[in-house]
Amino acid sequence: MKTSKPGRAKRLPPAVVEEIFRRFHARDPEPKGELEYVDPYTLLVAVVLSAQATDVGVNKATRRLYAEAATPEAMVALGEERVREHIRTIGLFRTKAKNVIALSERLIAEHGGAVPPSRAALELLPGVGRKTANVVMNTAFGEPTIAVDTHLFRVGNRTRLAPGKTPLEVELGLEAAVPDAYRRHAHHWLILHGRYVCKARKPDCFRCLIEDLCPFEPKTPGPG
Ligand code: SF4
């Protein structure tokens, strides 16, 4: 049998959750995301571009794009067609180019060209959903929000840190479970853990920092 069904699984006891995050913190006190950005605007655009694309692919595209336009005003002046050319190597580039221009126009019209430090305001921007808004609130503004992508959804369920059937259920479960002292960095610890250790097809349990605390079965006993 693999892991318990999402939503029905029992959560981990608080002392185990505390120990999991104590270990993540001890190994990497200041975890960083892998998208390249220099300010809230370039982060916002990078996160919008990252849906169904790798961070490496997005970084290649944004290096070219930001060399020409790194502000809402410059992006609007650059125009949708040129944005499309710069990002055509990443998935859904046509829709994303349209959204980058539309959100830049909205930032200029409604927020004086700045990125608003509010999840509700961010979610009103074209192409920005709850996950993107949570990443920006956390990474650009230091808020303890937890953005649940495919990696956090998987890790939250496998470890039973926050079992849930939907990303929102996992997000709210993590918000309730993660001790305050660790909330700020929980998103990055869990995303990096899911990307490099607790991988989708076959988790590397044999080299996992929290193997003894994780109830997922069957554990992967070794490489290969
Ligand atoms: S023990 Fe395995 S399933 Fe559990 S968190 Fe670690 S890598 Fe993931």
130-169 burial by CB neighbour count: b if 16+ within 10 A, else e? bbbbbbbbbbbbebbbbbbbebbbbbbbbbbbbbbeebeb
Residue at 149 is within a domain: yes
pLDDT at 102 over 70: yes
Same domain, 98 and 77: yes
- What pLDDT, in 10s, does the model give residues 75-90? 999 999 999 999 999 9
Residue at 6 is within a domain: no
Give the pLDDT of residue 52.
Answer: 86
Q: Give the position, in ligand 1's atom list, of the atom nearest the Cα of 203.
A: 7
Same domain, 150 and 125: no
Mean confidence (pLDDT) of the chain? 94
Same domain, 53 and 130: yes
Asked if residue 96 lies in contact with residue 87, where contact means CB atoms within 8 angstroms, the answer is yes
Same domain, 193 and 132: no
Instruction: Determine whether 224 is exposed, middle or buried from the number of CB atoms within 10 Å of its CB (0-12, 13-18, 19+).
Output: exposed
Residue 203 sits in a domain whose CATH number is: 1.10.1670.10
Active site residue 149: yes
Compute the distance between CA of residue 67 and CA of residue 187 in angstroms, rounded to an integer. Answer: 29
Give the domain-ending residue among 91, 122, 139: 139
Compute the distance between CA of residue 159 and CA of residue 52 in angstroms, rounded to an integer. Answer: 24
25 Cβ partners below 8 Å, 6+ apart? 182, 185, 189
Residue at 4 is within a domain: no
H/E/C letters for each residue in 57-68? HHHHHHHHHHHH
Kindly indicate the confidence band of residue 49, based on its pLDDT and cuts at 50, 70 and 90.
very high
- What pLDDT, in 10s, does the model give residues 160-191? 999 999 999 999 999 999 999 999 999 999 99
Same domain, 27 and 77: no
CA-to-CA separations, 11 to 4, 7, 95, 152, 178, in angstroms, rounded: 11, 9, 39, 15, 12
Domain enclosing residue 24, as ranges: 14-31+145-213
Residue at 7 is within a domain: no
Give the domain-ending residue among 94, 124, 139: 139
pLDDT at 9 over 90: no
Mutate to test the pocket of ligand 1, among 201, 211, 212, 217 (most ligand atoms within 8 A of CB): 211
Same domain, 135 and 51: yes
Kindly indicate the confidence band of residue 8, based on its pLDDT and cuts at 50, 70 and 90.
low
Q: How far is the CA of 189 from the centre of ligand 1 (A)?
A: 13
Q: Give the position, in ligand 1's atom list, of the atom nearest the Cα of 3.
A: 3
pLDDT at 13 over 90: yes
Same domain, 57 and 75: yes
